[in-house]
């Protein structure tokens, strides 16, 4: 499977949104939209209104990461704003997960689910056959720039093994500290989609096109795979 790259827009320069999206459209596979409610994690980031503005110019799909205590409050608004895929946290949907996953599908979006670093894969094992994307956090939720949690590599490998043994089809997406220092380990463990933020993209150069070129060169250098 060819590696894919989704850009975390919470890390972009908000004074230069239009120009940056024009560049990212030419270099990346999608946009990662972090929605935090200030309750599930102590931060507030993007919103469905922000998504609507981006959808007017972005040519690549938006995937939504719901870091919210009540994800069902956000599904319809995010779908209406242009989400291609919506991922609530497994930890927030345990009491009504099948209704929630069905609601995302009925809204016309691909279905994802996200696991915090300390949450075992077994927590969502009984519905892995129903999802399109499994997002594994390699940092704790809430803030960009956190250090990589190496213990997650075993979880990535386990997710890949379960997918192969059962014939499931979900992609394995990695959220947190995807950069030159981790590309090789993540790719070899089984990652399919890499979410790029500050360390993996935006801090590489003040010129975003140059930063994109550097990221691609770093990924190929570390993994031997051309993006």
Element (H, E) at 171: strand 171-175
175 carries an active-site annotation: yes
CB 60, CB 30: distance < 8 Å: yes
CB 141, CB 118: distance < 8 Å: no
Of the candidates 49, 175, 192, 207, the residue annotated as catalytic is 175
C-alpha dihedral over 139, 142, 143, 147, to 10 degrees?
-10
Of the candidates 34, 63, 132, 192, the residue annotated as catalytic is 34
Among 117, 121, 125, 184, residue whose Cα is nearest residue 151 = 117
Among 132, 13, 166, residue whose Cα is nearest residue 63 = 132
Hey, which residues are catalytic here?
34, 175
């Amino acid at each position: 499977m060819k590696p894919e790259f989704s850009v975390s827009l919470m890390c972009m320069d908000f004074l230069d949104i239009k120009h940056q999206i024009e560049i990212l459209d030419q270099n990346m596979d999608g946009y990662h939209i972090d929605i935090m409610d200030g309750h599930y994690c102590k931060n507030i980031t993007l919103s469905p209104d922000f998504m609507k503005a981006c959808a007017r110019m972005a040519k690549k799909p938006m995937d939504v990461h719901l870091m919210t205590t009540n994800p069902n409050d956000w599904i319809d608004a995010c779908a209406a704003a242009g989400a291609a895929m919506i991922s609530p946290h497994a930890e927030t949907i345990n009491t009504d997960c099948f209704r929630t996953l069905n609601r995302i599908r009925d809204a016309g979006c691909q279905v994802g689910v996200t696991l915090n670093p300390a949450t075992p894969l077994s927590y969502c094992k009984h519905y892995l056959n129903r999802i399109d994307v499994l997002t594994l956090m390699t940092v704790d939720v809430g803030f960009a720039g956190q250090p990589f949690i190496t213990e997650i590599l075993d979880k990535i490998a386990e997710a890949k093994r379960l997918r192969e043994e059962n014939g499931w089809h979900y992609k394995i997406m990695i959220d947190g500290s995807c950069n030159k220092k981790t590309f090789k380990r993540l790719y070899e463990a089984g990652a399919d989609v890499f979410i790029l933020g500050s360390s993996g993209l935006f801090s590489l150069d003040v010129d975003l096109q140059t930063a994109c070129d550097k990221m691609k060169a770093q990924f190929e250098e570390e993994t031997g795979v051309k993006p």
